[in-house]
Amino acid sequence: MGIFRRDIAFNLLLSRFLTRSGDQAWLFALPVALLVLLPADTALVIGVFLVSKFATLLILPLLAGVVDTWPRLHTATFGTAVQAVGVLGSTGCVFALHGLGLRANSSHVLTNTPVFFAVVGTLVAFSVLSALGSDLMKIAIGNDWIPALIPPSDLARVNRGY
């Protein structure tokens, strides 16, 4: 593998490591933030996570079928934008829940209000967007760019991470 190719492979691996680590950190941080705000409502937190995952599983094949007809750079750009909107919107919803007065030591009177359920529903929608954007990036980068930039004889080494 030449120096130029080795640099490309290293940069791709580093980029994938950083983005996938960020995706996994976000998947961990959101439920933890909700558990801090709603420690007595673990069933609700688990429900938000499960509904988000189930919706993502239903929507992703439909969306992937559409973006498969696009150039990969457009798919990557779209995936990044969708993920950014999802993360920013989820963060806004967590701050909105915090603004409703939900604290670890408060009575959870506000958890039965329409505003609370609207914010939680919006949080689920943004969580789904974040996951869809992340999955679109996996499709655009991992499935196409790595095989296109790395010679076939070196793909096994790149997949092992050197």
* pLDDT, tens digit (0-9, with 9 covering 90-100), for 106-140: 555 566 788 888 999 999 999 999 999 988 887 77
> What is the pLDDT at residue 109?
52
Provide the domain limits for residue 65: 3-160
> What is the pLDDT at residue 103?
52
Average pLDDT over residues 5-26: 75
The count of structural domains within the chain is 1
Average pLDDT over residues 69-79: 84
Average pLDDT over residues 13-33: 83
Residue 3 pLDDT grade (very low, low, confident, very high; cuts 50, 70, 90)? very low
> What is the pLDDT at residue 74?
85
Dihedrals phi, psi of 71, to nearest 5 degrees: -65, 145
Distance in angstroms (rounded) separating the CA atoms of residues 116 and 9: 47
Q: Which residue has the higher pLDDT, 69 or 10?
A: 69
Neighbours of 159 (CB within 10 A): 11
Residue 145 has pLDDT above 70, yes or no: no
CB distance 110 to 100 below 8 Å = yes
Structure token digits, residue 147 = 């095989």
